Amino acid sequence: MSRAVRIHGYGGADVVQVDQIDVPAPGPGEVLVKVHAAGVNALDWKIRQGYLQAAFPLPLPATLGIELAGEVMALGAGVTGLAPGDRVMGPLGGLGAYADVVAIAADKLALVPQAMDFTQAAALPVASLTAWQALRAAGPLRPGQQVLIHGAAGGVGGFAVQFAKAAGAVVVATASASSREHVLALGADRVIDRHAERFEEQVRGVDLVLDLVGGDALDRSWQVLADGGAIVSTAAPDIVGRAPAGQRGLWFMMVPHQRQLTEIAAMVVAGSVRSTIARVVAFDALAQAIEESHSGHAPGKVVVDFTR
């Protein structure tokens, strides 16, 4: 049997429970992974609350979690390039990572570098790939473009600041005052206090807004766009309908990409990209960590260690 953190209905923290489920068998093209660590994401509480059930209906009970790091246990038919004992990480491209044993498509997994442990690896897949791909969803990044990143202190935001700066963009970020120095250290040219300042009063001519928070911040962002500018949102599935006439808004969802993840992991090991872990929690504290991801936490990513 395998432990699994599941919801049987939608609601608050009390609907999350630990169940015992059967160990899956890997299908064709899949591998069986013993999970050592997994990343905690805002999507966890949004799914738990039922906010996304219209856009992404799912059968209940459902195992939460969208990314993992662990060890290959067995191979399904047709899998090449991996072997039992390999250390791997990856996004599921769906739900189910919060279980001791998970069957996942082999082509979604990248090898974990030797210099990286499982908790470090679990912090990478969703945040780094989302940042890399979302920054380019509206077109190539060009040197000198002005990029505004909402939610820059989070896991995705932290990578986005670094990737945009490396591409030669002028990076303006919104974050809490307590996260200002952290975001500046990642490479932001300017950090605006999202609680005390109105970014739309201070910024104009933005070529790309990366919206990681949604809500009022998204609605206020249209007025700062340059002609031909765009907003890419990971937080508002209805962005197209909310866009004023003549404005360009795109809803973005990350796509698993083995090569990109391998390259990003190598950059983290080399020190050219920084991965920030806010804290590591034990498996028994996962339900509370999901709840706390709703209200905010220290800069970076929360990771659950299945061995604790």
d(CA 239, CA 228): 17
Label residue 106 exposed, middle or buried (CB < 10 Å: 0-12, 13-18, 19+).
buried
Domain of 203, in residue numbers: 138-251
Residue 133, in any domain of the structure: no
Question: Which residue shows structure tokens 């999901």?
Answer: 290
Of 6-15, 45-54, 182-191, 292-301, highest mean pLDDT: 182-191
**pLDDT digit string, tens, across residues 16-33:** 999 999 999 999 999 999
Query: Coil, helix or strand for 111?
Result: strand
Counting Cα atoms < 13 Å in the Cβ hemisphere of 46 gives 19
**For residue 127, what pLDDT is reported?**
97
Residue 238, in any domain of the structure: yes
**For residue 252, what pLDDT is reported?**
95
Whether 172 and 269 map to the same domain: the answer is no
Does residue 67 carry a pLDDT above 80? yes
For residue 102, report the phi and psi dihedrals to the nearest 5 degrees.
-135, 135
How many other C-beta atoms are found inside a 10 Å radius of the C-beta of residue 14? 8
**For residue 122, what pLDDT is reported?**
98
Query: Coil, helix or strand for 49?
Result: helix
Judge contact between 280 and 40, C-beta under 8 A.
no
**For residue 303, what pLDDT is reported?**
97
Average pLDDT, the chain: 95
- What percent of the chain is predicted at pLDDT more than 90? 91
Whether 247 and 265 map to the same domain: the answer is no
Residue 132, in any domain of the structure: no
**pLDDT digit string, tens, across residues 236-266:** 989 999 999 999 999 999 999 999 999 999 9
Whether 21 and 52 map to the same domain: the answer is yes
Does residue 290 carry a pLDDT above 80? yes
For residue 31, report the phi and psi dihedrals to the nearest 5 degrees.
-125, 155
Residue 160, in any domain of the structure: yes
Indicate the residue among 251, 279, 297 that finishes a domain.
251
Question: Which residue shows structure tokens 């897949």?
Answer: 125
CATH number at residue 46: 3.90.180.10
Let me know how long the chain is: 308
Assigned token pair, 172: 């303006």
Whether 122 and 259 map to the same domain: the answer is yes
Question: Which residue shows structure tokens 């990143």?
Answer: 149
Residue 34, in any domain of the structure: yes
Assigned token pair, 120: 């470090």
CATH number at residue 189: 3.40.50.720
d(CA 131, CA 260): 11
User: CA distances (Å), 172 to each of 118, 146, 150, 210, 300, in order?
Assistant: 32, 7, 9, 10, 18
How many distinct structural domains can be found in the chain? 2
Whether 235 and 267 map to the same domain: the answer is no
Whether 163 and 201 map to the same domain: the answer is yes
